[in-house]
Structure 1
Amino acid sequence: MADLPFGFNAGDDPERDKRKNDPESGSGDPFGGGSEFDMSQLGQIFSRLGEMFSGAGNVMAGGPQSGPVNYDLARQLASSQIGFVAPIGEKTGQAINDAVRLAETWLDGVTALPAGTTRAVAWTPTDWIDNTLETWKRLCDPVAEQISTVWASALPEEAKSMAGPLLSMMSQMGGMAFGSQLGQALGKLSREVLTSTDIGLPLGPKGVAALLPEAIESLAEGLEQPRSEIMTFLAAREAAHHRLFSHVPWLASQLLNAVEAFAKGMKIDMSGIEDLAQGFNPAALTDPSQMEQLLNQGIFEPKATPEQTAALERLETLLALIEGWVQTVVNEALGDRIPGTSALAEVLRRRRATGGPAEQTFATLVGLELRPRKMREAAALWERLTQAVGSDGRDAVWQHPDLLPSAEDLDEPAAFIDRMIGGDTSGIDEALDQAIADLQKDSDEGNDPKA
């Protein structure tokens, strides 16, 4: 065999026959110290790997798998990392509800977008996991789909034919490793996020304003502001996010679609997999410490393409515009009522700028790292636009994605503001013409009997 899978040694081994005939040599153990390995032993490797991860045995033993990631395993690992969670008291829940209602009242006076929250709740870290996991599935599946196939595709054709029915289990290994990373990342993030929209994406149920008292308490310990003011400030940010996500119908789907498109465009560097295969020790699959070391070698690092770079810029710009708008309306709504509003806004900006939980989690899970510099510039643009055209004119920009500022506009906002003052709506006209043309095309295809 010209190419042996996973670094099997093709050289002569004078001790091989001796080990085979020696019952104490461990020759029947596929995880022994010898370098000789039989393809039939793959089943034992994956059985041991399945046992290593509690709750994953059914997958590795050939049980049903609903997708490229074992989300039951991810949930279990996240819950294990969270540990004990004390129930939230009734008074805390009522305080959050009152804070959101007050924030909504104040926001009514500074934005044309109506309230988007239907109820306010207090979440524990476990509640956050339970209520956001479905969205994380949508974000993570495109990446996991690729990772789950790299092991099988790295095998030479001859090895693939020998692996036979075990090949499907091999293709699940990358996805299972991703599930492990997902569980650990979400477990950490669940104790750090302050609200359901803290990372700028609509992760939770629509219209549900959710604050996490435990993380808010940790944040408040290092600040001088009263806890009631901190709570109201965060409630206002949560409510402002929901106004956008509820009343800008294209926003949530475009955000999630952008993340999906970015992830699907990833290219895994197969040379790294092939290099790893040359010296791979199957025993590593049964040793958690070696598995962790293996995952940290960066062999799954995506290689950026020009298309991905452009998609990333669009996504970062949209996230920056959301965060900048939220900061602008919250500062306007609370600035005269809560003296510490500006200081709290700066605390959160620095939290993001220093690589907070959002950046770390996105970088780990989908290779997306936000650039806080654009958030500051976006906030400055929205503030200047408010001064120029008022809150109604500012919020009208959200009517269509083609009306939003571009990345270049964030760097040079004067031209964008001039266009808004001049009433330039060419962008929306072109967008509507294209939408009508697309609808007509879809209609024609639907009426075509050959379609």
Structure 2
Amino acid sequence: MSNSPDRPDEPEDSGLPPELEQVLRGLTGGRDLDPQMVEMMRGMGLDQVDPQMLQMVAGQVQQMFAGSGDDTGSVDLTVATDMARRTASADADPVVAEADSAAVRSAVDVAGLWLDAVTDLDHSGLVGRAWSRAEWVEATMPVWRELVDPIAVGVSAAMDAALTKQLGALGEQGLPEGMVPPGMNPAAMMGQMAPMLRRMQGSMFSVQLGQAVGTLSGEILTGDEVSLPLVSAPDVVLMPAAVAQFADGLDIDLPQARLLLAVRETARTRLFHAVPWIGPQLLTAVQDYARDTSIDTDAIEEGLRTIDPSDPEAMQQALSGRLFAPQQSPAQKAALARLETLLALVEGWVDVVTAAAVKQHLPQAEALGEAVRRRRASGGPAEKTFAALVGLELRPRRLRDAANLFAALESAGGAELRDGAWAHPDVAPDASDLDDVLGYVERVRARSTDGDDLDAELDALLRGEPGDDAARGDEGRPGDGPTPA
């Protein structure tokens, strides 16, 4: 409908939702919308979209065009968190009841007492928390962003190069009519669009991260079940809905399942916070792997060849499963070896300590332990997430060797020798030690014995007690001269 002569400043009514029309007019300098574009959007059903959803999309579009050109395509934490929360709430995610919170607090308190009897690794003040999926998403998303941000930057750069190559290879007549203004070279247009496309690509990866973490939030049983320090102490987190489903699927008493999982999670939390180097080394190994990931640019070009580069959903579908080159670099192989060893050591120690803590208290401990092992052997809840985001299978492949190592240390010298393996990263077991468990145990025992003898002699010297020199008389006493004839 044309503007009335009495109201010349009133814009033409497009029939689109006001929120969308406002954004489009802002992008075109306030001019009337092109009738063909309006008709196309109606054909896409945008005039029927929920206003709240449209407002969110409109805000993201405005950010794409209004942001600075310095963006590198890294993860947008706000976009990722919003998508993760929406994904988590797609299935039932009720607010945690007070009864569930009380049950988790009690289980973690009991777990702490049982663990006190089998390990001296301590982190005072641990508190049991019962979280919903949304709470876990909010708490862990900053760590997820740190882990996958190197991939987001690499993917964005690769897509930028692929789009530039394709558009630069096309002449003006090779693009849909009206897509390029008359007289403008496609490559020049790409240069102008590059900042917006980088932000769009970063948003696309952020959405992918949010979907993955939101899905994962419905599968995990405890806060750090993925064996990474995602939740900061003093919180020891259990997911009540998932724990109840886990127990029901095993036909096992829920309180026993809750207690076993509380012991495992408390043990893991103690380890991460009593051994300050282990958590950072795990996260660094994942980041090192991600940072050196090769992006399969040929596959990206193939995926982008037949789609509209301005359609984020089409881009995401076209690139699904195409991002990562199949080969691993030497740096990736080294990072993966470190990561798999650390994961195995953490979970091996947790297995051994948990078994010692619960064996006298939980009648169904053996069945629960076997269920945890089967769950982990099938890939675990984090494996698909990391495979999609980083091209990495997050699995402690040498878990049995690590558990045998800690059990052997415990047999040789009790909990003190077992837990002493974490005293410093230089003395902690590595992949070669998992190949030779008995050799490692003997070396640790020898160091421990030598250290005990030295400590005893030093203690005797400080207290002025006679040592070996007394048995030999005064000869050789420090500071004395020759014995007179």
Instruction: Give the alignment's TM-score, normalised by structure 1.
Output: 0.78
Structure 2 counterpart of 1:436: none
SS of 1:209's partner is strand
Q: 1:301: how far off?
A: 4.3
User: CA 1:217–1:176 in 2, change beyond 3 Å: closer, same or farther?
Assistant: same
Distance 2:370 2:383 in 1: 17
Q: Equivalent residues in 2 for 1:399-410 (5 A)?
A: 399-410=423-434
Structure 1 counterpart of 2:78: 72
Structure 1 counterpart of 2:320: 296
Structure 1 counterpart of 2:238: 211
Q: 1:367: how far off?
A: 1.9
SS of 1:121's partner is strand
Q: Aligned to 2:384, which of 346, 357, 360?
A: 360
Distance 2:82 2:297 in 1: 31
Deviations 1:376-431 (A, max 9, x none): 221121111110121111111101112122223223311111111211799xxxxx
Structure 2 counterpart of 1:121: 129
Structure 1 counterpart of 2:256: 229
Question: Does the alignment pair 1:370 with 2:394?
Answer: yes
- Work out the number of aligned pairs and report it: 381
Q: 1:267: how far off?
A: 1.6
Unaligned runs of 5+ in 2: 1-33, 41-53, 169-185, 451-485
Q: 1:104: how far off?
A: 0.4
Distance 1:120 1:181 in 2: 31
Structure 1 counterpart of 2:13: none
Q: Equivalent residues in 2 for 1:232-243 (5 A)?
A: 232-243=259-270
On the 8 A contact 2:152/2:202 being kept in 1, the answer is yes
Identity %: 39
On the 8 A contact 2:72/2:198 being kept in 1, the answer is no
Structure 2 counterpart of 1:142: 150
Q: Equivalent residues in 2 for 1:426-445 (5 A)?
A: none
Deviations 1:170-195 (A, max 9, x none): 22333222112111111111111111
Distance 1:388 1:57 in 2: 63
Distance 1:357 1:365 in 2: 14
Q: 1:370: how far off?
A: 2.8
Structure 2 counterpart of 1:441: none
User: CA 1:55–1:131 in 2, change beyond 3 Å: closer, same or farther?
Assistant: farther
Q: 1:274: how far off?
A: 3.7
Question: Does the alignment pair 1:308 with 2:332?
Answer: yes
Instruction: Give the alignment's TM-score, normalised by structure 2.
Output: 0.72
Structure 1 counterpart of 2:311: 286
Distance 2:262 2:67 in 1: 44
Deviations 1:148-185 (A, max 9, x none): 21122232496654423311122233322211211111
Deviations 1:348-383 (A, max 9, x none): 121121122111111122222033431122112111
User: CA 1:370–1:210 in 2, change beyond 3 Å: closer, same or farther?
Assistant: same
Q: 1:72: how far off?
A: 2.4
Q: Equivalent residues in 2 for 1:307-386 (5 A)?
A: 307-386=331-410
Greater Rg by CA:
2
User: CA 1:331–1:297 in 2, change beyond 3 Å: closer, same or farther?
Assistant: closer
Q: Whose RCO is larger (CA < 8 A, sep 6+)? A: 1
Q: Equivalent residues in 2 for 1:13-52 (5 A)?
A: none
SS of 1:402's partner is coil
User: CA 1:292–1:167 in 2, change beyond 3 Å: closer, same or farther?
Assistant: closer
Distance 2:218 2:131 in 1: 11
Distance 1:174 1:287 in 2: 8
The amino acid of 2:61's aligned partner reads G
On the 8 A contact 2:76/2:202 being kept in 1, the answer is yes
RMSD: 2.8
Structure 1 counterpart of 2:112: 104
Question: Does the alignment pair 1:130 with 2:138?
Answer: yes
Distance 2:188 2:96 in 1: 56
Q: Equivalent residues in 2 for 1:190-201 (5 A)?
A: 190-201=217-228
Question: Does the alignment pair 1:56 with 2:60?
Answer: yes
Deviations 1:260-286 (A, max 9, x none): 111111121223234445x3332x643
Q: 1:55: how far off?
A: 5.3
Q: 1:302: how far off?
A: 6.1
Q: 1:54: how far off?
A: 6.7
SS of 2:128's partner is strand
The amino acid of 1:135's aligned partner reads V
On the 8 A contact 2:122/2:274 being kept in 1, the answer is yes
Deviations 1:230-284 (A, max 9, x none): 111111111101111111111111111111111111121223234445x3332x6
Distance 1:27 1:128 in 2: 46
On the 8 A contact 1:269/1:303 being kept in 2, the answer is no
Q: Aligned to 2:275, which of 236, 248, 257?
A: 248
* More off after superposition, 68-77 vs 176-185: 68-77
* More off after superposition, 193-202 vs 177-186: 177-186
SS of 1:368's partner is coil
Distance 2:247 2:106 in 1: 19
Distance 1:297 1:233 in 2: 37
Question: Does the alignment pair 1:220 with 2:247?
Answer: yes
SS of 1:268's partner is coil
Question: Does the alignment pair 1:389 with 2:413?
Answer: yes
Structure 2 counterpart of 1:439: none
Q: 1:52: how far off?
A: 9.6
User: CA 1:140–1:272 in 2, change beyond 3 Å: closer, same or farther?
Assistant: same
SS of 2:96's partner is coil
* More off after superposition, 294-303 vs 372-381: 294-303
User: CA 1:117–1:203 in 2, change beyond 3 Å: closer, same or farther?
Assistant: farther
Deviations 1:71-119 (A, max 9, x none): 3222222222222422212121111111101110110111121135532
